[in-house]
Amino acid sequence: MPVSYDNGDERHAQILVLPMSAAPDGRIEHVVIVGGVAGGMSTATRLRRLDAGVKITVIERSGHVSFANCGLPYFVGGLIEEEDDLTLQTPEQLFDRFRLDVRVNDEVVAIDRDDHFVRTRSMTTGEEHVVPYDKLVLSMGAAPVRPPIPGYERVRTLRTVEDAARLASDVDVAPTTAVVIGAGFIGLEMAENLVAQGIDVTIVEATPQVLPPLDPEMAILVSDELTAHGVHVETGVTLASVEDTTVTLADGRVLPADLVVGAIGVRPDVRLAELAILDLGPSGGIAVNEANQTNDPDVYAVGDAVEKPDAISHATSLIALANVANRQGRRVADHIAGRASHPVASLGTAIVKVFDVVAATVGWNESRLRAAGRSYRAIHSHPFDHATYYPGATRMAAKLIFDPDDGAILGAQIVGRNGVDKRIDVIATAMASGMRADQLADLELAYAPPFSSAKDPVNLLGYMAENILSGDCDVVAPNELAGLVEVGWSVVDVRTAEEHEHGAIEGSTNVPIDTLRDNLDAMGSGPVVVYCEVGQRGHTATALLHELGFEARNLDGGYQTWLASMRARAKATMAPVP
């Protein structure tokens, strides 16, 4: 197969032809970027703004660069109608505006770190070229996990524009049933968009819940939304095989599946790094320093293939988020251009729309904190997204996790219909600035009745954290309640009689809060767990009982959080809700 030394073709004649190595004065003259989506293209365009003369070559193995991969499910669902709408820039546009030499359908097959060149192969002609570099940036992203399951070759995945086009073509054939393997962010987006195309969808998830980054009592709310829109949700079960029109689960059940979509996660694409003998980190991604340099200072790496510093543990982990990749690309361009560059730990902020519900998360969840042996406190609230007297107010479920000693915010999760995005972003910003959980109470956030309440949901979480950290209030987690009852605690429901009759914790005594002072005998002589619908009246009742000499604690998040927790546990264990 012919191999040629490539310094640019006639189409790119305006780009300077450069020698194999850097100039004698050490000036960087040629930067090669492998991968032309988020991280790679951010590096290229930022570097061009900083240096008008450096030659920049971008090599992308797919047929598109600078495309909106987060929009791919919505193209399959028909919400985005034109494939061209997914492409933010074409190679020709990038050349005209930035003088970037962008080569699509071209694959890097080898890296020679000693002589500073990469070997490429055309995906269409098979022709190979050698492209020199002074600095090399790897931004290969991640590849969908494809497990060794019989028949899995029929399973469609969604990572590139080409993937989306193939899947859209499959949908055009008018399948009646589809199975989505995996209930993470992409899996849920795919389920929603396939339903939008009139397809009967089943989600199969190996873990006991949908959206594993959320804690169970929050994820169950997303599962409810899926079920309400006709999606069949199968959790705690794996895929055994894929047939022509069906799939078989590990428990032996056979599900109809004209179409099968795999969304069980991604793994970092480190093939080139391994070929170039670059170091990998403990999670299997490319190891980089604070400037995103690999163990070779002339080779950088950004994006989903790279291990990132985690803001909670300060160790490295794999976080596949487009905004993180873009940020890394910008910082690498700064470093190559000789500017000061600072590392930023990742919080893992993420959000997903599932039909009419939005779920968002930042930081760590409880299960991850428990696995790490980290102490924490968790609080729940159920505020409205805006003032209740203004039409259209809807409740959200909000959860804040913080360190019980210093108040550091460790994570947050919010599920609701409106206003979820801005609240999770406020908390993410607070975490990035090092604010304590109780300091959320003091944030001066925009307020008008259509947008919020005078006490924003974020402020409310801050007040709750302040009460706990100061010792003014102690809460009982839903999973602690049964243990307290066993050792003699009584449970009192301070809601109205009508609310109690509609649904209550078994064995609880109903003493409405407005009659509490007149019914202290109902408290008994022992300690009391108080609850209401969402925790607010319970907090007031607990404070009153404390003043009257009772030992009392408030049930965190009230009946709503307790019920969600019990339902999630029942779903995971197939046990009835008490």
- Active site positions, annotated: 70
Mapping DSSP onto H, E and C, the string for 122-182 reads ECCCCCEEEEECCEEEECCCEEECCCCCCCHHHCECCCCHHHHHHHHHHHHCCCCEEEEEC
Half-sphere exposure of 144 (CA within 13 A, CB side): 20
CA dihedral over 180, 185, 191, 197, signed as positive or negative: negative
Element (H, E) at 190: helix 185-196
State in Å, rounded, how far the first CA of the chain is from the last one: 70
CA 174/CA 258 separation, integer angstroms: 9
CA–CA separation, 133 and 22 (whole Å):
8
- Triad 95, 96, 98: Cα angle to 5°: 60
8 A C-beta contact, residue 560 and residue 568 = no
What are the tokens at 46?
Answer: 């930022």
CB 327 within 8 A of CB 43: no
Question: Which pair of tokens denotes residue 261?
Answer: 């979509």
Q: Which helix (H) or strand (E) holds 299?
A: strand 299-301
Residue type, 572: A
Q: Is 354 helix (H, G, I), strand (E, B) or coil?
A: strand
Residue type, 117: F
| Token pair in block for residue 28 | 């960087």
Local structure of 438: helix, strand or coil: helix
Q: What ranges in 197-246 are assigned the alpha helix state H?
A: 216-228
Contact status, residue 75 vs residue 153, Cβ threshold 8 Å: no
How far is Cα 73 from Cα 515, in angstroms, rounded to an integer? Answer: 54
Q: How far is CA 230 from CA 182, 375, 448, 454, in A?
A: 17, 39, 36, 37
